[in-house]
Amino acid sequence: MKYEIFSSDSNVITFSSFGTLKTQLNHIKHPLFYSNCCYCNTTQSSFITETKATSCDIRKTLARMEDSIDHLAFERNKAQFDVDEMKIVWAGSRQDFELSDRISRLVASDPAFRKDDRTTLGRKELFKNTLRKAAYAWKRINELRLNEQEAYKLRSFVDQPAFTDLHWGMFVPAIQGQGTDEQQQKWLPLAYRMQIIGCYAQTELGHGSNVQGLETTATFDPKTDEFVIHNPTLTSSKWWPGGLGKISTHAVVYARLIIGGEDHGVHGFIVQLRSLDDHLPLSGITIGDIGMKFGNAAYNTMDNGVLRFDHVRIPRNQMLMRVSQVTREGKYVHSNVPRQLVYGTMVNVRQKIVADASVALSRAVCIATRYSAVRRQFGSHNGGLETQVIDYKTQQARLFPLLASAYAFRFVGEWLKWLYMDVTKRLQANDFSTLPEAHACTAGLKSLTTTATADGIEECRKLCGGHGYLCSSGLPELFAVYVPACTYEGDNIVLLLQVARYLMKTVSQLGSGNKPVGTTAYMARVEQLMQYHSDVKKAEDWLKPNVVLEAFEARAARMSVACAQNLSKFTNPEEGFQELAADLVDAAVAHCQLIVVSKFIEKLQQDIPGKGVKKQLEVLCSIYALFLLHKHLGDFLSTGCINPKQGSLASEQLRNLYSQVRPNAIALVDAFNYTDHYLGSILGRYDGNVYPKLYEEAWKDPLNDSVVPDGFKEYIQPMLKQQLRNARL
Ligand SMILES: Cc1cc2nc3c(=O)[nH]c(=O)nc-3n(C[C@H](O)[C@H](O)[C@H](O)COP(=O)(O)OP(=O)(O)OC[C@H]3O[C@@H](n4cnc5c(N)ncnc54)[C@H](O)[C@@H]3O)c2cc1C
């Protein structure tokens, strides 16, 4: 089909494949199309209009029209549920939805937050661009008088890691959690107004996971009533803290407290690093950035830093003294505030990481799902359309479990937020009974969700074929920014080993009257779970929440019990723990997967309004659980929880579920309500107008600034002309 427009400058503009032109003409009501538009009234195969507009006007108008076409409308029309209601479920509440929606649009519509050229910037330019955005964001936060939650949202939608993340996310909470009332009164108002900027300096060149191995010292000098902060070795240099390299004026520095030659272990100290006037490092301090990190742009917007102290003195009252104190006389005393309070802060930080995992995974899934509906490969008959790649069963089997995981992580994150509030309330009432379990549970969920998200983003990149590898797909940068989440705030394996220790302790106490609590409560039924055999007889049986839950409980309990039995064979339990570490990690993963599955099921027991919304969530919940069962079939079979036939029935059911998700896939990712700005992906554009935009984007690359590249004359021409021997290389 061919469409022609004759313009006043006698140009004929020809267009093909304008299937939706007619509806668009009615919608746009551009004066250009009011007269002589025979296409609107006839069914003939060409569209001819004469107009006084110039060809340039027409091209622009048609480009605008093209932009207003929703290429995914036919997919959206297939949805069997109320997307607006799902948006509210995803956001947590109507209020949360409205807040997110408002702030994300505010950021998206402000050209100062543009980020489409970010991956082509050099490090210095990129860093300056980050500083400008951070300062502008802070200005807008103040101008608009945003509250804490709104300000947090604004910073996240700006979507560019910056020193402010550490200031608000680590420095402020460290003082809130570990500072005395007096210290909080002194430092927090300065931090809240950003009159000082802080970071969290724990990790050293030689030690990260093993915090007790830190070497920086803080030696008390009773003569001057000061601590002397010092780095005795190269490996004791602080290394990694975000915001430290170039920006922070202050840091919470973790160092070994030494009094009268006695080592009292690692404590936190507030240390000023740079002058508040000229930003130069204070005397005795060496400080800088640790260098480029993985990926283009990505986390290179952050100044992760190196820091060394050469006998730097700070007043005694800058040790964070909520839990333990050093008196004027140099006595080390514990306050009456319990040490476990520190774990409360950790629970808070980790629950935020779990919430962030669902956001990062859902962004990647949104991009891959939309693009999979746009992309067509093979399957054309008689010149018809090729198959959308989302219709390939292999694509569905890779993509839909990730979609389900994004929802699963969203709900477990929501539950963790509740858990943190519950723990806080209990701590205030001096009830520490649930703290170890909450601590193990958040450590495990941090590990599980960040690992699955990092792997999931990479899978989404592959799901987008070659174009997924382009920076303009948004996926390489998303991956590069996200992947260190597997390492910071606790290496994921080290965390799983902590969970395993907690599980072994729980198993060892079974029958002792110490009842397992919270997420380990199922262990109380260990005898029953050891006898369990699934009674699944047909594929649909796997849709029953209780059937799934019992299988997951039995698998987790049996893996823990097996580890405990194997451990008991070792005379030295620590040696046994090291030897069996890989099995222990598997047991911890099984336990954490059970938590996610059970929290998804619990969510479905709530009243969820909106046409078809609950049904969709039920499908996703079953996909999440059965996908895990399929992936870890070896665990379920070797522990004897299910038999091979039941395993293949689960796979059969999974295939059915994928078919049920297919018509709803686009609407399910629309429910995340991400703006195109936030997604930052041409492949994931809401309107699905992928190809023209990819084409346009290519020409914006700095390499295309000139037709003949810089360097041609010196290096390529001599090669072509066989003159390399004389060339100055
Ligand atoms: C982007 C980024 C930002 C960061 N920001 C900050 C910050 O703001 N402030 C800060 O203080 N730090 C920060 N860090 C540091 C981070 O917290 C540490 O890197 C992290 O704690 C891991 O410690 P590590 O690097 O020493 O790893 P290691 O512990 O050396 O890990 C190396 C390997 O050994 C394994 N391993 C270690 N111990 C064990 C064990 N007991 N059993 C089995 N395997 C083990 C690990 O699984 C891993 O595979 C940041 C790191 C990154 C990457």
Q: Is the CB of 196 under 6 A from ligand 1?
A: no
Over range 143-152, report the average pLDDT. Answer: 97
CA distances from 552 to 514, 546, 555, 557, 559 (A): 23, 10, 5, 9, 11
150 is catalytic: no
User: What is the distance, to the nearest Å, from the Cα of residue 132 to the centroid of all Cα atoms in its chain?
Assistant: 24
Ligand 1 mean position, distance from CA 16 (Å): 56
What is the pLDDT confidence band of residue 30, given thresholds at 50, 70 and 90? very low
Catalytic residue of the set 489, 550, 553, 618: 489
Q: Which domains does the chain have, with CATH numbers?
A: 2-69 (no CATH), 169-337 (2.40.110.10), 343-520+535-670 (1.20.140.10)
Contact 198 CB / ligand 1 (< 6 Å): no
Q: 470: phi > 0 → left, psi -120 to 50 → alpha, else beta; which?
A: beta
401 CA → ligand 1 middle, Å: 29
Which pLDDT band, with edges at 50, 70 and 90, does 42 fall under? very low
Distance from the CA of 211 to the center of ligand 1, in angstroms? 10
Probe target for ligand 1 pocket from 168, 494, 495, with the most ligand atoms within 8 Å of CB: 494
Q: Is the CB of 494 under 6 A from ligand 1?
A: yes
Taking the model in full, what pTM does it have? 0.92
Residue nearest to atom 16 of ligand 1 (CA): 488
216 lines ligand 1 (CB under 6 A): no
Distance from C-alpha of 250 to C-alpha of 169, rounded to nearest angstrom: 14
**What pLDDT digit, counting tens, does each position of 383-427 carry?**
889 999 999 999 999 999 999 999 999 999 999 999 999 988 988
Q: What ligand 1 atom has the least distance to the C-alpha of 202?
A: 11
Q: Is 491 in the pocket of ligand 1 (CB under 6 A)?
A: yes
Q: Is 482 in the pocket of ligand 1 (CB under 6 A)?
A: no
DSSP labels, 431-489? --TTHHHHHHHHHHHHHHHHHHHHHHHHHHHHHTGGGGGSGGGSHHHHHHHHGGGGTTT
Q: How far is the CA of 294 from the centre of ligand 1 (A)?
A: 16
Question: Using N-to-C axis directions, what is the helix angle for 475-482 and 435-463, rounded to 10°?
Answer: 160
Binning pLDDT at 50, 70 and 90, where does residue 336 land?
A: confident
User: How many Å apart are CA 284 and CA 357, to the nearest integer?
Assistant: 40
Q: Exposure string (b/e) for 316-347, b if CB count within 10 Å is 16 or more? A: bbbbbbbbbbbeeeeebeeeeeeeebbbbbbb
ipTM entry = 0.98
Across 13-17, 250-254, 256-260, 275-279, least confident range: 13-17
Q: Is the CB of 169 under 6 A from ligand 1?
A: no
Tens digits of residue pLDDT in 430-454 = 888 888 889 999 999 999 999 999 9
- 172, 346, 491, 496, best to mutate for ligand 1 pocket (most atoms within 8 Å of CB): 491
